[in-house]
């Protein structure tokens, strides 16, 4: 397809192929987990797009970033019996963080509008996926020419740069600065959820610096200073000791241990924090 050909010509990209679309989605999810970077997925039109649904949902739950580039048939071929033609826009419901349905390729489209629209959608991607639906009319292949050169001139020198088209200003609610020295005078517990390996090492070092026990979920990659939490959290004496904690801080998300979740639900510390 034009999408795969364009990706193949871009030497800055690392390419992976897969014989199954569902497997391709999970391959992309694994690459996003390992790298911590957004991963683009290209599929053809029709049911191939639907096979990305499980990976998209998982990305939204675990915080990975996927960019779904789905080829589509032009609007006039939908609902008329054409091959590989289904209603793709909106098929993922509310699971994508952003959904774009692009017009079919034409030099009548403003290049500045197109790049701005894409850049704005990707700039707002913090976790989960962006679905960009790309309809193409036949012929899909043809001789290379310079018909797009004038169209690209609307973008000036940006086309050869590595800078974003739009400069996003991220407005976050400023939180009161934590008094870490004050916290160190308190009895606390650190709970580690799902995180990358390098983050797990830093969390373990931070808990050791504070002198607080670290309860690491199986997905935390903290080295488990207190292993087998599922077992010893069933001990009444251990739970009573933890009940004296004045502060509980959770770093990471997606706790999977039922015992840890049960203990967390019964805690009544003076202060809690989730980061």
Question: Could you tell me what percent of the chain has a pLDDT over 90?
Answer: 35
226-235 mean pLDDT: 86
Domain residue spans of the chain: 2-158, 180-274
User: Do the two domains 2-158 and 180-274 of this chain adopt the same fold?
Assistant: yes
Does domain 2-158 bear CATH number 1.10.510.10? no
CA dist., res. 226 & res. 220, Å (int): 12
Most confident by average pLDDT, 9-18, 150-159, 214-223: 9-18
pTM, full prediction: 0.73
Q: What is the CA radius of gyration of the chain?
A: 24
CA dist., res. 230 & res. 245, Å (int): 19
| Superfamily (CATH H level) for 180-274 | TPP-binding domain (3.40.50.1220)
| Structure confidence by residue, pLDDT tens digits, 166-216 | 765 444 444 455 566 777 788 899 999 888 888 889 999 999 988 899 998
Asked whether 195 and 216 are in contact (CB, 8 A), the reply is no
> What are the strands of the beta sheet with 39-43, ordered from one edge?
39-43, 65-72, 128-135, 98-101
Q: Where are the beta strands (DSSP E) in 116-173?
A: 128-135
């Amino acid at each position: 397809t034009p999408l795969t050909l364009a990706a193949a010509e871009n030497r800055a990209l690392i390419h992976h192929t897969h014989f199954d679309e569902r497997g391709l989605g999970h391959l992309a999810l694994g690459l996003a987990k390992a790298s911590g970077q957004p991963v683009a997925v290209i599929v053809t039109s029709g049911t191939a797009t639907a096979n990305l649904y499980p990976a998209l949902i998982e990305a939204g739950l675990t915080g990975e970033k996927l960019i779904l580039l789905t080829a589509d048939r032009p609007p006039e071929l939908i609902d008329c019996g054409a091959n590989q033609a289904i209603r793709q826009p909106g098929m993922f419901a509310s699971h994508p963080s952003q959904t774009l349905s692009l017009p079919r390729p034409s030099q009548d489209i403003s290049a500045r509008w197109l790049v701005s629209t894409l850049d704005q959608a990707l700039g707002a991607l913090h976790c989960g996926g962006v679905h960009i639906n790309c309809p193409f009319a036949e012929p899909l292949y043809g001789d290379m020419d310079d018909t797009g050169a004038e169209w690209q001139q609307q973008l000036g020198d940006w086309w050869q740069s590595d800078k974003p088209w739009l400069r996003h200003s991220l407005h976050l609610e400023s939180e009161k600065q934590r008094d870490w020295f004050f916290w160190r005078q308190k009895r606390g517990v650190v709970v580690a959820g799902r995180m990358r390996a390098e983050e797990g090492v830093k969390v373990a070092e931070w808990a050791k610096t504070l002198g607080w026990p670290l309860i690491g979920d199986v997905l935390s990659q903290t080295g488990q200073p207190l292993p087998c939490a599922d077992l010893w959290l069933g001990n009444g004496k251990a739970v009573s000791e933890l009940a004296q904690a004045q502060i509980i801080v959770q770093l990471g998300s997606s706790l999977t241990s039922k015992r840890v979740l049960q203990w967390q639900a019964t805690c009544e510390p003076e202060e809690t924090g989730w980061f």
